[in-house]
Structure 1
Amino acid sequence: MADLTDILALLRSVDTPTVCNAIEVIDGKRGFDAFTRGTPLSSDLKGVMVGRARTARISAAAPPFEPAATIRARRMDYYRHMADGAGPRVAVVEDIDPHPVGAYWGELNTTVHKGFGLSGALTNGVMRDLCDLAPGFPVVAGHIGPSHAFVHVVEVAGPVTVFGLTVRPDDWVHADRHGALVIPETHLAELPAAIAKMQRTEAIVMEAARAPGFDFQSFEASWTAFENART
């Protein structure tokens, strides 16, 4: 069985669709549905984030109604939660506004979260400072905007829903420009073998398609071999 360090290194080297397919290889069927819906925006087209979720909810459309001291204390609870824990982590932050307007993710927050050791942020909310975000800290977001508006933290370390995907604290998250998914922890150890098998079987068809003289007959033969190999 692969070491967790090796598994995480592999997961950082592949895209999210690959992990989705590999989970179905492990399950032996289609039907895995713990993934995002819709089309997110990505600050880094090559950026991949993998880690255990650190979760929160924010709001920015209106000023907070709670006392300033309560807001400040919750903000520190938020950063404490983000900084807590060993190993790779991903910030998953749900913006609860019906139409998110306030950018929580910019130069300052990406720099702080990267400093805490997080590998990226997933949010249905807003990002800004696109040319100044912390290098190597991808943000997958729902919107781009210029202002932080009245952004404030309203809840820390509870279940959140982003792009239709429910994420709980410590869930394993994989995300990139395509969206995100939650990896069942029971599947982690099997992912390297599943990814390798998927890549081998897909290569049967792709190598045939790239070869000179590819036609329907060679496609049919390669597809038959592909289906036999993946079962």
Structure 2
Amino acid sequence: MNTELLTLLRSVDTPTVCNAIEVVEGKRGFDRFTRGTVLCSDPAAGAIVGYARTAKIAALAPPTEAPDVIRARRMAYYRHMSEGPRPAIAVVEDLDGADAIGAFWGEINTTVHKGLGLSGALTNGVMRDLGDLPDGFPVIAGSVGPSHGFVHVREVGTPVTVFGLEIADGDLVHADRHGAVVIPTDYIAEMEQAVRKLLDTERLILEPARAEGFDFTAFEAAWAAFEAART
């Protein structure tokens, strides 16, 4: 992914990326996006864009494996997060699902991940320390809670499911306060042109709608131009 595309993707929201993917496909129906409502630690931070570094955690009950196994897996987790292509996003599935209570994403862990070069985190799990999280590292999570519970790493680098979206290690993810979307590898080369075409097309309706004197006649003309540009 070149610098120009990365800058462009960071400048637009996730709904725009969903629409741009449909521009690439030439039809509606793309469905590799999250379901349900997410929470964002910093809604004003804008989008996070990067290659997924995946893992699975759990926190409701203490781990049943030996402590040295748990410690070794946690270190393997951080090694995995420190490696791989950049930009990168930590994508972590909490296996406790709707019952998740373990706030893996607090001040210390987010600061460590930012220091390791990641751009943010996407999780169906829990975040905390909202006033103390580092700038420039948005966390998109399923809930907010006070405790880390018995949080421990279960798997590293395996496919995960977060808000109904299956994400493999290395997938290109775009995420913000709306949710997340996976950009298919085959589409990456076309995304810059698709996003720019989409933005240009939307201006055909948005600029008249924001102008003084906008009425149905102006809308009808603008919508005709908008529809013609989309086909």
TM-score > 0.5 by shorter chain: yes
Q: Return 5+ residue gaps in structure 2 as ranges.
A: none
The 1-side partners of 2:211 and 2:80 are apart by 52
The 1-side partners of 2:125 and 2:184 are apart by 25
Tell me if structure 1 keeps the 8 A contact 2:51–2:85. Answer: no
Match in the other structure for 1:172: 172
- After TM superposition, the score normalised by the length of structure 1 is 0.97
- After TM superposition, the score normalised by the length of structure 2 is 0.97
Deviation, structure 1 residue 195: 1.0
Match in the other structure for 1:95: 94
Q: Does 1:229 align with 2:218?
A: no
Deviations 1:79-98 (A, max 9, x none): 11100123210000000114
Matches for 1:192-207 after TM superposition, within 5 Å: 192-207=192-207
Match in the other structure for 2:23: 25
Amino acid in the other structure paired with 1:222: A
Matches for 1:81-92 after TM superposition, within 5 Å: 81-92=80-91
Runs of 4+ in 1 over 6 A off after TM superposition: none
Deviations 1:153-195 (A, max 9, x none): 0111100000000000000001010000100111112111111
Match in the other structure for 2:69: 70
Deviation, structure 1 residue 196: 1.1
Deviations 1:9-56 (A, max 9, x none): 111111111111111011110011000000000001122211110000
The 2-side partners of 1:222 and 1:176 are apart by 30
Match in the other structure for 1:50: 49
- The more displaced of 118-127 and 180-189 is 180-189
Count of equivalent residues: 229
RMSD: 0.9
- The more displaced of 28-37 and 4-13 is 4-13
Matched position secondary structure for 1:194 = helix
Deviations 1:70-110 (A, max 9, x none): 10010011011100123210000000114100100001111
Matched position secondary structure for 1:104 = coil
The 1-side partners of 2:219 and 2:131 are apart by 45
Tell me if structure 2 keeps the 8 A contact 1:46–1:176. Answer: no
Tell me if structure 2 keeps the 8 A contact 1:54–1:81. Answer: yes
Matches for 1:182-193 after TM superposition, within 5 Å: 182-193=182-193
Match in the other structure for 1:122: 122
Amino acid in the other structure paired with 2:16: T
The 1-side partners of 2:85 and 2:143 are apart by 30
Match in the other structure for 1:146: 146
Tell me if structure 1 keeps the 8 A contact 2:49–2:88. Answer: yes
- The more displaced of 153-162 and 45-54 is 45-54
Tell me if structure 2 keeps the 8 A contact 1:110–1:133. Answer: yes
The 1-side partners of 2:10 and 2:42 are apart by 14
Amino acid in the other structure paired with 2:80: H
Amino acid in the other structure paired with 1:60: A
Q: Return 5+ residue gaps in structure 1 as ranges.
A: none
